Amino acid sequence: MIGANCLMVYALLVNDFSVLYVTEVGSLNSPIYIRLVALWSSLNGSILFWGAVLGMYILGLIWDVGDRHREYMPYTLHVMLCISVFFALIVASIADPFQPVSPVPLDGPGPNALLQNHWLMAFHPPTLYLGYVGMSVPFSMICAALLTGRLDAGWMAPLRRWMLIPWIFLTIGLLLGGWWSYGVLGWGGYWSWDPVENASLHPWLTGTAFLHSAMVLQRRGRLRDWTLILGMLTFLLTLIGTFMTRSGVFNSVHSFTQSDIGPVFLVFIGICLVYAVVLLALRSPVLEAAA
């Protein structure tokens, strides 16, 4: 997915209108930086970008943890790769941005005008994606602890660290979103409590609770089950937030695209929810916490 993103960025930069996504968001009149940010300005490109961010998180986790936790890492990577496969299948099917276009148009409309008139378009969506996608790492690490039946202090340290990283990005994304809303959308406020804004706030709240709960678990060995539930719930809430933004089900000033991807996302959310509940029910009672 990282390589596919590089190819799409190249197609956007050179205005290759033989590619479907470029015909939808590209324009000969767009400056270079608008062509770059067009990657995440519409549904197909944002799903492609999601997959690339997930790939970078996988590489970052391997680089950070390496072979120091051999009993956990195979399970962690297995869960993350399963999530990655889901997004790869979406990109290869119902949200394929690389579909060929014939006849090739001479120009395109460019991104949504509302997304072009503020420099925060280059920072707000990517930071939200880094926050959303990054929550898959602690989710996968918790699944690994449940599958192995152990949760020792050596695994809790990287688990908390890998929750903190996307939490920081999500915090920045929320702050930038409020700034952008105040300057562009015209309601004279930073927060309107619309569905998409709330969908971004919920995983931030559960992620914050997880960070505090994990600290108690590390130091006192308490709140183990609560910590695991919070970590899994945070990832599920990011999936729900993505569904609300991209499905077109909810009316929101933040919903710039509508598609038929909603039902597919609901099925995936349901699978993840059932997997998490079953795993917690079966494995949490036998989970060993080593000091």
Give residue for tokens 């549904």.
43
Between residues 251 and 126, which one has the greater pLDDT?
Answer: 126
Between residues 244 and 144, which one has the greater pLDDT?
Answer: 144
Q: Contact 196/245 with Cβ under 8 angstroms?
A: yes
* Number of domains present in the structure of the chain: 1
Q: Residue 192 is which amino acid? A: S
- Give the per-residue pLDDT at 285: 81
Examine residue 155 and state whether it is found in any structural domain, yes or no.
Answer: yes
Examine residue 256 and state whether it is found in any structural domain, yes or no.
Answer: yes
Q: Contact 283/151 with Cβ under 8 angstroms?
A: no
Q: Which of 185-194, 245-254, 265-274 reaches the highest mean pLDDT?
A: 265-274
Q: Contact 198/256 with Cβ under 8 angstroms?
A: no
Three-class SS state of 78: helix
Q: What is the mean pLDDT of the chain?
A: 86
Whether 290 shows a pLDDT value over 60: the answer reads: no
Whether 94 shows a pLDDT value over 90: the answer reads: no
What does each C-alpha distance from 260 to 112, 194, 277 come to in angstroms?
A: 20, 22, 27
Give the helix/strand (H/E) hosting 126: helix 124-134
Whether 237 shows a pLDDT value over 80: the answer reads: yes
- Give the per-residue pLDDT at 291: 42
- Give the per-residue pLDDT at 42: 83
Q: Contact 44/97 with Cβ under 8 angstroms?
A: yes
Whether 143 shows a pLDDT value over 70: the answer reads: yes
HSE-CB at 91 with a 13 A cutoff on CA atoms is 21
The percent of residues above 70 in pLDDT, for the chain, comes to 87
For residue range 202-222, list pLDDT tens digits in order.
Answer: 999 999 999 999 998 888 878
Give the range among 15-24, 88-97, 122-131, 187-196 with minimum mean pLDDT.
187-196
- Give the per-residue pLDDT at 95: 86
Q: Is the dihedral of CA 189, 255, 132, 118 positive or negative?
A: negative
What is the residue range of 172's domain?
2-286
Between CA 177 and CA 156 the distance in angstroms is: 31
- Give the per-residue pLDDT at 269: 94
Which residues touch 82 (CB under 8 Å, ≥6 apart)? none
- Give the per-residue pLDDT at 217: 86
- If you ran DSSP here, which 8-state letter would residue 182 be given? I
Examine residue 291 and state whether it is found in any structural domain, yes or no.
Answer: no
